[in-house]
Amino acid sequence: MAQKAKTETNENGVRVEVVNIVVSTSLEHDIPLEKMAATLSNTEYNPEQFPGLVIRIKDPKTSALIFSSGKVVCTGARSMDKVDESLKKIIESLEKIGIKIKIKPKIIVQNIVASGSIGMDLNLNTLAMKLDNTEYEPEQFPGLVYKLMEAKATFLLFSNGKVVCTGTKSEEQAHAALDKLVVILKNVK
């Protein structure tokens, strides 16, 4: 079953949902990647091209890179609960090949991607001229890239009011960054 993202609308009329959480952790155990690749069907391992093994999890729909050192990078989850479920399934997969992980992995959020709508049309040409830290090449891509330094967030803005926010490390930071963005956009004349 596909995971449903939780859509929230705030008091500014901004509708947003988390679409991807990227986390890293360490299982604090060496991992025999060749044995994993040979035993488990949902893996890809080509050490000549990349030193990590890719494992794909169906439910929740996530992917992870696993390195022989025990480091793991997991992507695709839409909530921290789904991150926990994914890591649990990775640990269960390791148990199938005789690796017992005795610790509860400490999860570090690297990035959260949220998308939604800010409920207003945007003139991207005007924004590109009046805002600092923008990139806008409409011949190349229809969105404007805007870096909001004080929120440590980067936005993709589209003329229809759709927005993608990346660079934050929690849902709260993503919502706060979007709130700051709306205030800035309303002040651009």
pLDDT in the model for residue 11: 59
Using 50, 70 and 90 to split pLDDT, how confident is the model at 68?
very high
Q: What is the tally of structural domains in the chain?
A: 2
pLDDT tens figures, 90-104:
999 999 999 999 999
User: End of a domain among 74, 109, 144?
Assistant: 109
Same domain, 66 and 138: no
pTM surpassing 0.85? yes
Q: Residue 124 corresponds to which tokens in the numbers above? A: 């991207």
Phi-psi region of 110 (alpha: psi -120 to 50; beta: other; left: phi over 0): alpha
3-state secondary structure of 118: coil
Please tell me whether residues 95 and 145 are part of one structural domain.
no
- Say yes or no: 137 and 94 in one domain: no
* 151 in the same domain as 75: no
- Grade residue 3 by pLDDT with cuts at 50, 70 and 90: very low
Up-side HSE of residue 60: CA atoms within 13 Å toward CB? Answer: 23
pLDDT at position 12: 60
Structural domain of 98: 22-109
Rounded distance between C-alpha atoms, residue 142 and residue 159, angstroms: 8
Instruction: Write the CATH number for 129.
Output: 3.30.310.10
Q: Give the integer Cα–Cα distance in Å for 40 and 31.
A: 13
